[in-house]
Amino acid sequence: MIRRATSEDATWIRDVSGEVYAEFGDYSRIIPSWLAHPGVLTFVEEGEAGQRRGFILIGFYEPPDMPQAGYVADLLAIAVAPPFQRQGIGKNLLEYAIDLAVLAGQKVAVSEIHLTVAETNHVARRLFTRMGFVVLDEHHGAYDGGQRAIRMRRVLASSSS
Ligand SMILES: CC(C)(COP(=O)(O)OP(=O)(O)OC[C@H]1O[C@@H](n2cnc3c(N)ncnc32)[C@H](O)[C@@H]1OP(=O)(O)O)[C@@H](O)C(=O)NCCC(=O)NCCS
């Protein structure tokens, strides 16, 4: 089940972020400021026993360099806690994020969903590519560990399939 996060999820999200993003920077410090941001929506995936397994953070913004685009959805974070990885949860969360952006586009113009990923994060990059994301900017800055940050985009159609 995927549900909106509550304030009770914040510590778990911060701790999982600190663990899974360790090589990219201190995300246990960065994520709480995103969680508190009113423009960022957070969703948690939980298993049948109610255990939290993964999460996404998604925001919407008007890109100044793409005035014709309307809003762009920005998948700020997607993560699955290590004990639950490789069970299809990351793919489900990504599909959920795409569907959410498509749904938002029925109310306001949302033309694309973007995300940022480390060049060295081959597992995530493969997942994003298979889900229709293409490289938008190969030099989108760098993470704390020196890895190049890559910006990816997927143009939104009327559904994620
Ligand atoms: C990227 C991430 C979200 C994927 O979540 P997941 O639940 O493990 O992924 P899934 O089980 O849905 O698998 C998706 C695909 O990736 C493959 N995959 C997942 N983990 C893999 C691994 N360690 N090695 C090789 N392939 C892997 C799966 O086989 C699957 O491929 P398929 O569709 O061909 O079967 C997860 O690895 C993660 O949280 N990583 C740390 C945080 C991160 O890097 N986030 C992305 C950048 S913001």
Q: Is the CB of 150 under 6 A from ligand 1?
A: no
Q: Name the band, by pLDDT with cuts 50, 70 and 90, for residue 160.
A: very low
Element (H, E) at 150: strand 149-155
The domain limits of the chain are: 2-111
| Residue whose CA lies nearest to ligand 1 atom number 27 | 123
* CA–CA separation, 123 and 37 (whole Å): 28
Q: What is the pLDDT of residue 159?
A: 42
Q: Is the CB of 98 under 6 A from ligand 1?
A: no
Residue from 31, 85, 93, 114 whose mutation best tests the ligand 1 pocket (most atoms within 8 A of CB): 85
Residue type, position 134, single letter: V
* Structural fold of domain 2-111: Aminopeptidase (3.40.630)
| Residue whose CA lies nearest to ligand 1 atom number 35 | 88
Residue-wise pLDDT tens digits, 83-127: 999 999 999 999 999 999 999 998 899 999 999 999 999 999 999
Q: Is the pTM of this model over 0.75?
A: yes
> Can you give the three-state secondary structure of 33-71, one letter per residue?
HHHHCCCEEEEEEECCCCCEEEEEEEEEECCCCCHHHEE
Residue-wise pLDDT tens digits, 125-145: 999 999 999 999 999 999 988
